[in-house]
Amino acid sequence: MRKFGIIGVGHVGVTIAYTLVTKGIADELVLIDSNEKKAVAEQLDLEDCQARLDTTTHIKVQDYQKLADADILFITSGNIGSLQHNDGNRWAEFEYTRDIVKDIAPKIAQSGFHGVLIDTMNPCDAIAHYLQRTAGVETSKCMATGTFLDTARMQRVVAEQFGVNYKNVSGYVMGEHGESQFVAWSTVRVNNHPLVDFAKANGKKLDYDALEEEIRKGGWAVFSGKGYTSFGIATCAIKLAQAVLSDAQLECPVSSYNSKYDTYLGQPAVVGKNGIEYVNEVKLTDAEEAKLANSANTIKEKFATM
């Protein structure tokens, strides 16, 4: 039985739930929200659609004890208002989301949950670290979507620049899921050619600063246009969950614990049945190493002030 839990059924949480149910990924699903009426409403709406689906998902609500044997627990709570009033600054959510973790972490621990935690809350690197510590789980069992989403945005921007398919662009955005993130351009390849070589062969000039700015602001463009982000982040969360369930050994940039800097940050890692199987060390340029250190220190400094 493939069992999932979701704490927080706002835009991201309900998109994850809808995907799990309509794609037949979940056999069992537990929905928990501070607004019980909302949780029940989403349960009923998802159950209404199942007569037209080829699969069945058993859905329960508002019961932490049902999480004891869940494989994956998504933590998706947040405060859209704090982002709207702070120009998309993810750190504006920290005080709010930290208080959520203070409330839910003991309940998660008491439930007996021993699966893998996947966090989408902002600021996700700091919150994942705080959640891991507060819930008392191993670092390998707690991850955040982090720069997995930012890397997808990089793939889109680069693909559109060169007229290729998004999937034919590889590489990493690393560091904070926020302003100090950076594209490790030395890792980026297009159609399996180093970006510099591909650009030269196609007579294209590279403006790294312009590309990086477009990537960094991609989330804010979505948020300011529709009032929230949901599809991209939910897809990343589902992809990570499926990698755990199938022991896919998926190599991807994900927010995980970095022992060198003693913080969570976006970095290449391998995801499998145990969560973060290992961090995949990749060779960076000296300038990229400096940016990674700066991003790690930014996360730690901000985390320490809250």
Active site residues: 177
CA distance 90 to 160: 27
Q: Is 11 annotated as a binding residue?
A: yes
Q: Is 10 annotated as a binding residue?
A: yes
The gap from C-alpha 105 to its chain's centroid, in whole angstroms, comes to 18
Single out the residue of 288, 300, 294, 306 nearest to residue 262, CA to CA: 300
Q: Is 136 annotated as a binding residue?
A: no
One DSSP character per residue, 210-242 reads: HHHHHHHTHHHHHHHHHSS--HHHHHHHHHHHH
CA distance 209 to 248: 35
**Partners of residue 6 on adjacent β-strands:** 31, 74
CA distance 174 to 151: 8
CA distance 6 to 75: 6
Burial class from Cβ neighbours inside 10 Å (0-12, 13-18, 19+) for residue 176 reads buried
Six-digit token pair at 110?
Answer: 């008491």
Q: Is 12 annotated as a binding residue?
A: yes
Q: Is 286 annotated as a binding residue?
A: no
Q: Give the strands of the sheet with 182-190, arranged side by side.
A: 169-174, 182-190, 193-194
Q: Is 232 annotated as a binding residue?
A: no
Q: Is 33 annotated as a binding residue?
A: yes
Binding-site residues for NAD(+), please?
8-13, 33
Binding-site residues, please?
8-13, 33
